[in-house]
Structure 1
Amino acid sequence: MAKKSDKPSKKQGKPRVHKELSGFEVSIDQFGELKTNMAIEKLNEFLNENVDDKKLAERNDYDEMKNQRRKRVEILSTRLTFPLTPIYIFMRTLASILLFFSVLTLSAQQVWPDELIITPEKTNYIKTSTHKEVMEFIHAIISKSENAFLFPMGISKEGKEIPVVVLSKDKIKTPAEAKASGKPVIYIQGNIHAGEVEGKEVLMLLMREILLGNKNYLLENQILLFAPIYNTDSNDKMEKGRRPSQEDSPLEVGLRETSQGLDLNRDGMKMEAIETQSLFANVLLPWDPQVFVDLHTTNGTWHAYSLTWAPGYQTSGHPALYEYVNNNLLPEITSTIKSKYDLNFGPFGDYYLREGWPPKNFYTYNHQPRYLVNQFGLRNRMSILSEAFAHERFYQRIHSTYRFVSEILEYTNTHASEIIETNKRAETETITEILAGAGKTKKGVRFKMVPLKKLDTFLTYDYIQKQKADGALENIRTGKIVNYENVTYHAKFEATTYATIPSGYIIPARFSKIAENLRQHGIKVETLTKAVTLTGEVFQIEKFEKAKQAFQGHAMAQAEGEFVSSSKRFSKGDFKVEMNQPLANLIFYLLEPQSDDGLLTWNFFDEFIEANKVENKPVEFPVFKYVNKPK
């Protein structure tokens, strides 16, 4: 039965500006903080008060004081309609001074120069930053801090630089220096979809706070890589109405796809986009981040969480990474954010009104490693998906995402060694499993979503049913937040098809495009220096189907058939891919013919299969799985 949430999520009001006749202006920003055009230093001098933020933060009642301050700020920000009599002006001015006194005793506000104020702050959250404005901000901030270094991830199709900013205590500028430091690299990416823009803004805000504000301690035990504007070209193709669920907040946003027409969050396996190739070549492979965070906005489901999250679904990868993020990191961060900021965060998903109301099921997204967050599990690294609630206002989404990323960095800074050790264990045990299980152990290559658990609490906007003239029932959303219990969360993936792990794969020399793709992923691919004979198994394709409707420019393919034992001779120049390497699970997912997201799926083998007229007779899949190693 539905019941009202005991403590529904607080909704911050729209930022307001109150102009005083006493010579200064007061506004409330997205963090509930008070800003003024009167210099803080002058106010401190006037009040004879020097504030130590860190000492205040240690107070047990710090959060309670912040809540009290928010209430006072809301009172000040309310527009009143009293006549501007002299006594009213005097009382309002006096009240403002007293309010500033109480605010400043809690937290001395940093006054930022204009070049370090981001576009949403300048426009009352009506606009988001252009590529030019992002680059100007980055150049301004790195000129003021020796702890920041800018390098280009790559250049987009339209000639725009894709910036990556390295933030480090040790002034690190190269991957070699990062590796030598022994600290984990944390890579956080915004704007993968250029209509989902709060991540872009949040990473600039965090640069400001970490490099020049009070969060420099976050660089003690980690190195941060921020890519605020990954999809550069489409960011500036702004129009109103691009994402209806965001209700034109901000007023205009860019396109989801790149200038090549590709969705960067579906490109992880095929790697066709310039941006994806640049990401792997210049960030993921050389810098080897231990944790990846991808910042998004939801597509419109009316749950009542300010932000939802998901771990990387590891499928055929090592389970330790998923378990650590899902069972340790994310629950702790969610609890901390609720306690500190009274924001409701929860697991990512959607429900469907066609299933009826109230909701009985909540479904996460897909498991495939085409999604970058999921692929990290196959790379023996941790990852987190962040999805801000689309229906909240832009400044609220910035607020939620800022709090989430900040707490992630608090956690990774505190647990840096533990994260490195967990990833290293996954890497080592992956290779051990291959060496021990080649030719015997089976792993999943196709999966289905199944229930994970019952959610103890599920916050959502309520719906009521109304009967239409034709007698059918229509669901109408209300403005009331309710708490449903025992909603089934579907976020587990069970294998439906298995394949045997080999010692390695042989790819005929004519398939150089396959070898190139593997190398782009960071997989070691060798070339046979002499002819060899190997025993193993080959897949006989008996049925080959392609989707009638294109997806990302591809008619997605699927093969059915069976493996048969075989001994084959291979020529000098053919490609050899050994499985005893850290990316073995990724190799397996890419090269298995029945994989639901492998290279066969993405049409890399179409020409060969169709040329051999698979519709008339079985066709031997050209990639051979061997068990004995080539000598």
Structure 2
Amino acid sequence: MKLSFIPLFLISIISFSQNLKTPYEKGNGNQSTTYTECIAFYKNLDSQFESIKMQEMGVTDSGEPLHIVTFSENKNFDFNKAKATILINNGIHPGEPDGIDASMMLLRDLATHKLQVPQNTLVVVIPVYNIGGMLNRNSYSRANQNGPEAYGFRGNARNYDLNRDFIKSDSRNSRSFQEIFHLVNPDMFIDNHVSNGADYQYTFTCIATHHQRLGGKLGEFYKKEMHPGLMQNLKTKKIESSPYVNIHGDIPDNGFSQFMDSPRYATGYTTLFNTLGAVPETHMLKPYRDRVRVTYEYMVSAINYVDQNHTKIKSLREDNLENYKAGKTYPLQWEIDSSKISYMDFKGYEAHYKPSAVSGKNRLYYDRKQPFTKQIPFYADYKATKEVKIPEFYIVPKSQWTIIELLQLNNIEMQPLSKNTEIEVEAYKITNYETARIPYEGHYGHFNTTVSKSVEKITFRKGDYMISTNQKGVKYILETLEPEAVDSFFNWNFFDPILQQKEYFSAYVFEDLAKEILDKNPQLKAEFEAKKQTDAKFSENGYSQLDWIYKHSPYYEKAHLQYPIYRIK
């Protein structure tokens, strides 16, 4: 019998190589790592490579801590001294685990120099953001998705969709993320996802954070140089790409618009601090192996691009603050500008209809035997439908501690008043708002909010906060404190107590007082009589008339509908 011997050094190399394989690589190409395996893998990388550092960060709703794992070729992990940083977020929706598995391989390949190593850029990865959702492992909640065999659930430990929580911050996950974000101060942020919707030929689509929300030359750079450059680089790797196919329940043949990422979303939030953002959206119907590969390749392309262009990106980010100085206008609401149309060659499949085997009604299906390339319209531009003039300061009373905490969490600089002070301010009164009839992410949110403005002199108390708009977080301040903004704190119900009147009147008692009020105020009486003449319902309703007088009298509470945040021009 002939014995074969394997040298010890070869055994050691094989053992080392196996030790660095991810659970995904050890599987059949359709299996994703578990949370326990993922964290253990990164801890192993940290122990074996000086260029890898794993840190435990804030807590999450699951009770487990968030982690960040950083690659630094020169082993300097000081974010303040980095020439550039990229922050990669994974598993915000753990049923979409492509980025979780791809990032594990990415950091391993950077540490082992399998990849071109960035010389100027720190690469920071959140292994799993929605830990509670990843621990809720199953094989059924993504009914429309082609693999992997098992994955996590979209909702977190408290069933929040964390990609709607970046402004309201109901979850501990969000609050911990914000600490991470401001610690890292990334030049680029990547949030890995898997799409839903139509069928088409692409494995890779992408939401580029909206260039108009980035603003100025930074937005133009991202739209015209960086994002197209990244897509072209993918093409050299034989990866065709498309903008995120922003349609649901319809076919893409007639065109679609760029997704507008408001601040509730990850890249909408990071944009507020002039961070370039991207959401890779791999196609749900493509094999898992292919989806992981294109996610990996996009991250590699992004790292290389930022590393090569870090000086320009840093400069554009810094210069962008000049667009948001006091006295300039800021857009609060947007709509598609249908007058500006671009066209793209879209690679899709012919869509047809046939009787449903379930209902007998016509159902949509895509015929993969009929691929096409068609030129379709793409709407990438929006126009502002509501703007506001940026004030020099906001004043936030110290009583509004719930939003003060969030402002502080986001590194917003605030100066408390040293004594009681009378200040002339611009005040808002809520004049109209609508409220959702069904709950959305824990809230019955408001929309179509409008305000009236007045200039008043108000005495503010010692400890109330003055907030200058001349700071890096100016866009965050505007998006949260301006009540008409889509994702304002007002629209997320932070100020609902002002919407409820606390004191009322008894009609039989107020009758005599109402007459006295009118008699002493001829102008008010004239307005009252005019309203009766022009409003038939009002003239027929005695209580409504008393209520009108009450609300125009000194007895009506000032706090009702009075927005408690004030502006100094």
TM over 0.5: yes
Q: What is aligned with 2:51?
A: 147
Match of 2:124 among 221, 225, 235: 225
User: Which position in structure 2 is the counterpart of 1:308?
Assistant: 205
Who is 1:447 aligned against? Answer: 334
Is it true that 1:345 corresponds to 2:345 in the alignment? no
Unaligned runs of 5+ in 2: 1-5, 505-543, 552-559
C-alpha distance in 1, partners of 2:360/2:56?
60
Q: Is 1:514 matched up with 2:418?
A: no
Secondary structure of the equivalent of 1:533? strand
Classify 1:358/1:520 alpha carbon distance in 2 versus 1 (closer, same or farther; 3 Å): closer
The structural deviation recorded for 1:295 is: 0.5
Structure 1 residues 258-269: aligned runs within 5 Å: 258-269=156-167
Q: What is residue 176 of structure 2 aligned with on the other side?
A: 278
Q: Which amino acid aligns with 2:120?
A: N
Determine the structure 2 residue equivalent to 1:180.
Answer: 81
In 1, Cα distance between equivalents of 2:502 and 2:219: 41
- Give secondary structure in 2 for the equivalent of 1:505: strand
* Partners of 1:546 and 1:498 in 2: CA distance: 22
Residue 567 of structure 1: how far off its partner (Å): 2.9
Match of 1:159 in 2: 63
Task: Using structure 2 for the length normalisation, give the TM-score.
Answer: 0.83
Change (3 A) 1:264 1:119: same
Q: Which residue number in structure 2 is paired with residue 120 of structure 1?
A: 24
Q: What whole-Å deviation, never above 9, does each CA across 1:44-103 have from its counterpart, x for those lacking one? A: xxxxxxxxxxxxxxxxxxxxxxxxxxxxxxxxxxxxxxxxxxxxxxxxxxxxxxxxxxxx
Amino acid paired to 1:434: K
| Secondary structure at 1:328 match in 2 | helix
Structure 1 partner of 2:104: 204
Change (3 A) 1:211 1:510: same
Any idea what SS the aligned residue of 1:165 has? strand
Report the Cα offset of residue 364 of structure 1: 3.3
- 3-state SS in 2 of match to 1:476: strand
Structure 1 residue 317: deviation in Å?
Answer: 4.8
Partner of 1:332: 229
1:434 to 2:333 alignment: no
**Matches for 1:581-596 after TM superposition, within 5 Å:** 581-596=471-486
CA–CA distance in 2 between the matches of 1:319 and 1:496?
Answer: 18
Q: For the structure 1 residues 467 and 129, does the alpha-carbon distance in structure 2 shift closer, same or farther, using more than 3 Å as the test?
A: closer
For the 8 Å contact 2:22–2:104, the answer to whether it is kept is yes
Q: Distance in 1 between matches of 2:433 and 2:240?
A: 47
Q: State the 1:195 CA deviation.
A: 0.5
Deviation at 1:508? 1.9
Structure 1 runs (4+) deviating above 6 angstroms are: 467-472, 613-616
Report what 1:456 is aligned to: 344
- Is residue 425–residue 567 contact of structure 2 (8 Å, CA) maintained in 1? yes
Q: Tell me the C-alpha RMSD between the 2 structures.
A: 2.7
Partners of 2:416 and 2:466 within 8 A in 1: yes
1:533 corresponds to? 422
State the SS of the aligned residue for 1:594: coil
CA–CA distance in structure 2, aligned partners of residues 254 and 490 of structure 1 = 34
Cα pair distance change 1:481/1:230, threshold 3 Å: farther
Question: Which one of 354, 361, 364 corresponds to residue 475 of structure 1?
Answer: 364
Is the contact made by 1:194 and 1:254 (CA closer than 8 Å) also made in structure 2?
A: yes
* Counterpart-to-counterpart distance in 2, 1:111 and 1:343: 33
Q: Secondary structure at the match of 1:568?
A: strand
**Counterparts of 1:267 and 1:280 in 2: how far apart (Å)?**
11
Corresponding residue of 2:534? none
Q: Which residue of 2 aligns with 1:544?
A: 433
Q: Deviations over 1:495-522 (max 9, x none)?
A: 2122221111112222111211111122
Q: Counterpart of 1:421? A: 315
Output the CA distance in 1 between the equivalents of 2:279 and 2:14: 31
Aligned to 1:136: 40
Cα 1:468–1:178 change in 2 (3 A) is closer
* C-alpha deviation, 1:473, in angstroms: 5.2
> How many angstroms apart in 2 are the aligned matches of 1:224 and 1:613?
57
Q: What is the alpha-carbon distance in structure 2 between the residues aligned to residue 124 and residue 625 of structure 1?
A: 60
Which stretches in structure 1 are left out of the alignment for 5+ residues?
1-37, 43-108
Using the TM superposition, name which of 288-297 and 373-382 deviates more: 373-382
**Change in 2 beyond 3 A, CA 1:301/1:164:** same
Q: Is the 8 A contact 1:293 1:385 kept in 2?
A: yes
Worse-superposed segment, 609-618 or 554-563: 609-618
Q: SS of the counterpart of 1:603?
A: coil
Q: Deviations over 1:249-305 (max 9, x none)?
A: 111111111102211111111112111111112x21122111111111102321321
Deviation at 1:315, TM superposition (A): 5.1
CA contact (8 A) 2:350 2:371 kept: yes
Report the alpha carbon displacement of residue 541 of structure 1 after superposing the two structures with TM.
Answer: 1.4
Mark the CA change 1:593 to 1:118 in structure 2 (over 3 Å): closer, same or farther: same
Are the structure 2 counterparts of residues 443 and 462 from structure 1 closer, same or farther at C-alpha, using a change threshold of 3 Å? same
Provide the secondary structure at the position in 1 that maps to 2:312. Answer: helix
Q: Secondary structure at the match of 2:117?
A: helix
- Per the alignment, residue 518 of structure 2 pairs with none
Q: In 1, are the aligned partners of 2:257 and 2:378 still within 8 Å (CA)?
A: yes
CA distance in 2, matches of 1:572, 1:538: 19
Match of 1:90 in 2: none
Report the CA distance between 1:607 and its aligned residue: 1.3
Instruction: Give 1:352 deviation, angstroms.
Output: 4.8
What is the SS of the residue equivalent to 2:155?
coil
Residues 89 and 192 in structure 2, CA contact (< 8 A), matched pair in contact too: yes
Tell which deviates more after alignment, 492-501 or 391-400.
Answer: 492-501
Contact 1:314-1:375 at 8 Å conserved across structures = no
SS of 1:253's partner is coil
SS for the counterpart of 1:219 is: coil
Contact 1:218 1:409 survives alignment (8 Å) = no
**Residue pair 1:373, 1:383 contacting (<8 A) in 2 also:** yes
Q: Which moved more, 1:231-240 or 1:532-541?
A: 532-541
1:250 to 136, 148, 151: 148
In 2, the alpha carbon distance for the partners of 1:566 and 1:368 equals 32
Quick one: which amino acid aligns to residue 187 of structure 1? Answer: L
- Provide closer, same or farther for how the CA distance between residues 468 and 508 of structure 1 changes in structure 2, counting only shifts above 3 A: closer
Structure 2 CA distance, aligned partners of 1:119 and 1:360? 42
Paired residues of 1:191 and 1:197 also in contact (CA < 8 A): yes
Q: How far did residue 187 of structure 1 move?
A: 0.7
- How far has the Cα of 1:196 moved from its partner? 0.6
In the alignment, residue 266 of structure 1 is paired with which amino acid?
R
**Deviation at residue 467 of structure 1 after TM alignment:** 6.8
TM-aligned CA deviation for residue 112 of structure 1: 5.5
